[in-house]
Amino acid sequence: MSGVLEVRGLSVQYATPRGPVTAVSGVDLDVGRGEFVAVVGESGCGKSTLLYAVAQLLSPPASVTAGSVLFKGHNLVTMSEKKLNVLRWRDFSVVMQSAMNALNPVRTIAAQFADAMNAHAKLSGKEIATRSEEVMRLVGIDPAHLRSYPHQLSGGMRQRAMIAMALLFTPDLVVMDEPTSALDVVAQRSLMAQIKELQRALGFAVVFVTHDMSLVSHFSDRLLVMYAGQVVETGPTRAVFDTPAHPYSRGLLDAFPSIHGPRVALTGIPGGPPDLGALPSGCRFHPRCGSALPACPSQEPALYRVGDAEARCLLHAPVPEVTP
């Protein structure tokens, strides 16, 4: 395997009082060395759950019910917590949505960096201090801020400190859950540019979860569009942006007209995503789809090849598969 990450048939269920609810259904995801893969979709589509399942950070009531997560050839799903702890931070790391929640408010940034390093390696105090200063410089923060508490930093600086922490051991893979969503648009763009620059310079791969298609258009190599727990379209970012094959991807792109051409009225997608405990029959998107065929409410689409991409839509099924 030449890639860093190879996810096959991954499914995640939440135990609920109404019975098990499948939040992620049979997802495949490949990430090559140094590749930037974006996972996009509305809130509740399963994209964060997928990310936490990949990083083995799910806790009850959520659990992986099927599939494998091969990271550099090791299946993380069946790995012991002890072995996982060796890989976490050193080989792959996670950047959460809100640094304010992820960082400990009563410890300085330096103390939290030291905790992370001490938990995963035997380093001297001097080595820890040197590395902490290096990663702060990498993300463009004056190392003097190592002495700061999280609340003394701006929102953008806190997110950058989280990214610095994720890079302490120069991992092969960094998974990021909406790391810019708490920031204003200008700070978002500058943080995205910085993540991309670091990725190019250090060569790590990124899986980046976001609800904002426009945010990843310039930064990701490949795109995975999720809807109701499934991948509905996947392909090179350019191909998906230029010719979205799935009606849902088209709807997401229409919600951001400024990146797609001249400014037009926002159309978006009518309605909301389905209740995962009561999924529509056939194609899960059919109640909201403006292109639905008579077969769509009864026939479940597979992922069909469309040029360089794949789309889970009967419009792209080889002809014999569509029943009249």
Stretch that binds ligand SF4, among 56-64, 91-99, 208-216, 285-293 (CB under 6 A): 285-293
In contact, 64 and 11? CB cutoff 8 Å? yes
Q: Which of residues 85-104 bind ligand SF4 (CB under 6 A)?
A: none
Task: Measure the CA–CA gap between 160 and 180, rounded to whole angstroms.
Answer: 10
If binding is defined by CB under 6 A, does position 244 make contact with ligand SF4? no
Cα atoms found within 13 Å of the Cα of residue 204, Cβ hemisphere only: 27
Site size for Mg ion (CB under 5 A): 1
Query: Smallest distance, Å, CB 180 to Mg ion?
Result: 13
Query: Which one of 283, 303, 306, 309 is in contact with ligand SF4 (CB under 6 A)?
Result: 283
What gap in Å lies between CA 76 and CA 69, rounded to an integer? 6
Residue 317 contact, options Mg ion, ligand SF4, none, Cβ 5-8 Å cut-off depending on partner type? none
CA-CA distance, 251 to 231, in Å (whole number)? 15
CA 287-51-123 angle, to 5 degrees, is 170
Residue with Cβ nearer ligand SF4 (34 or 287): 287
Comparing CB distances to Mg ion, the nearer of 52 and 219 is 52
Question: Binding of ligand SF4 at residue 293 (CB under 6 A)?
Answer: yes
Q: Does 5 bind ligand SF4 (CB under 6 A)?
A: no
Least separation in angstroms between CB 87 and ligand SF4: 38
Query: 30-69 mask for Mg ion (x: CB under 5 A)?
Result: ------------------x---------------------
Give the whole-angstrom CA distance, residue 184 versus residue 151: 18
Give the pair of three-digit tokens for residue 89: 């931070």
Tell the smallest beta-carbon distance from residue 313 to ligand SF4 (Å). 3
Distance CA 76, CA 55 (A): 8
Closest CA to 198 of 154, 110, 136: 136
Closest CA to 10 of 61, 51, 57, 45: 51
Does residue 285 touch ligand SF4 according to CB under 6 A?
yes
Contacts to ligand SF4 by CB under 6 A: 246-247, 283, 285-286, 289, 291-293, 296, 301, 313-315
